[in-house]
Amino acid sequence: MPITFRGAYTAIVTPFSDDGSTVDFARLDEHIAFQARGGVTGIVPCGTTGESPTLSEAEQHAVIERAIAVGKPLGLQVVAGTGSNCTAHAVEMHRFAHKAGADASLQVSPYYNKPSQEGLYRHFMTVADACDLPIMLYNIPGRCGVAIAPETVARLARHPNIRAIKEATGSMDSASEIAQRCSITILSGDDSLTLSFAGCGSAGVVSVVSNLVPRRVQDLCDAFLGDRFEVAKRMHADLFKLCRGLLTLDVNPVPLKTAMKILGRDTGALRLPLVPPSKDATAKIVELLAEVGLARLEAMTLA
């Protein structure tokens, strides 16, 4: 049966050793199991939150393979982050994810190159033609320097392997126009806009916050997907400060990894060029967690 993208997908952190030199696979296993207990639809290893730019290719292979080996038996979809600003490398990684058994791959826009819309189209079509693995496009101009325009998304959506888009433009207009132009599945790429994007017809979120509170994020998705918008509004209000705080106090995943450590779920070091937050930012993260009712005990259950 073809994969359906619907609900909460956690863009999981990559746990490292305390000195940042190696991936901590024991902590990765624990975190994936935590996500499964929280009831999310799937996980996305090796994305922005997973510090993918700092992973060697061997580490990226190993993290994806481990996520598949641990996550799929627990009922999680695994969408492997395999994008690149080099089309040939993106093809190679996409094929690797297919062979490893991923359910789909997350393909980010080529970064730094700043290609034209035609260049973006040819890049993604080349990857989609490489093997029969579903693709989730990743539209994040703030990181990549270029956005996939709605008309380009509509062109790409004609390919049977291009099935969804993580829309991290922060633009309701972009999401609305994509929904009007084609039937590609839209997932919010910003936690604070998950409910807003639902009004544009989105089917869920690729979430940072669900690293901490998987159950709450999945429940929010279930509420609006079930047309229980009054319930969803209350859930959104409860999560909003956490969503905004974790993505504004420092660059992602710095606040998230700091919060996880505070809550007793340490995922090791950040890798350079990312560094720990300032003392002031750390104090604000502590205050934020207390304000939204998160405590160490809750973080060690399903949150």
What is the residue type of 122?
R
In the chain (303 residues long), the average pLDDT of successive 10-residue segments reads 92 97 98 98 98 98 98 98 98 98 98 97 98 98 97 98 97 96 98 96 97 97 97 97 94 97 94 97 95 65 45
Collect contacts of 51-54 with beta carbons under 8 A, ≥24 apart.
Answer: 51/13, 51/14, 51/253, 51/270, 51/271, 51/274, 52/14, 52/81, 54/271, 54/272, 54/274
Domain ranges for the chain, please list them: 7-227
> What pLDDT is attached to residue 296?
55
Give residue for tokens 């710095």: 254
pTM: 0.96
Q: Report the chain's C-alpha Rg in angstroms.
A: 18
- Cα–Cα distance measured from residue 190 to residue 83, given in angstroms and rounded to the nearest whole number: 19
Burial of 128 (0-12, 13-18, 19+ CB in 10 A): buried
Look at residues 18, 16, 20, 2 and name the one whose alpha carbon lies nearest to residue 77.
2
Q: How far is CA 43 from the centre of its chain?
A: 8
Residues forming beta bridges with residue 51, ordered by sequence position: none
261-276 confidence digits (pLDDT tens): 999 999 999 999 999 9
- Cα–Cα distance measured from residue 223 to residue 119, given in angstroms and rounded to the nearest whole number: 39
Fold for domain 7-227?
TIM Barrel (3.20.20)
> What are the two backbone dihedrals, phi and then psi, of residue 101, each rounded to the nearest 5 degrees?
105, 20
> What pLDDT is attached to residue 295?
67
DSSP-derived secondary structure for 267-281: --PPPTT--PPPHHH
Give, in order, the Cα–Cα distances in Å from 30 to each of 1, 73, 122, 128, 296: 29, 14, 39, 32, 16
Burial of 73 (0-12, 13-18, 19+ CB in 10 A): exposed
CB atoms under 10 Å from CB of 249, counted, come to 21
Give residue for tokens 């205050």: 287
> What pLDDT is attached to residue 2?
81
Axis crossing angle, helix 25-37 with helix 214-225, rounded to the nearest 10: 40
- Cα–Cα distance measured from residue 222 to residue 231, given in angstroms and rounded to the nearest whole number: 10
Look at residues 77, 170, 159 and name the one whose alpha carbon lies nearest to residue 124.
159
> What amino acid positions are annotated as catalytic residues?
138, 166
Task: Answer whether 36's CB lies under 8 Å from 74's CB.
Answer: yes
Q: Alpha-carbon dihedral of residues 233, 257, 286, 33, nearest 10 degrees?
A: 60
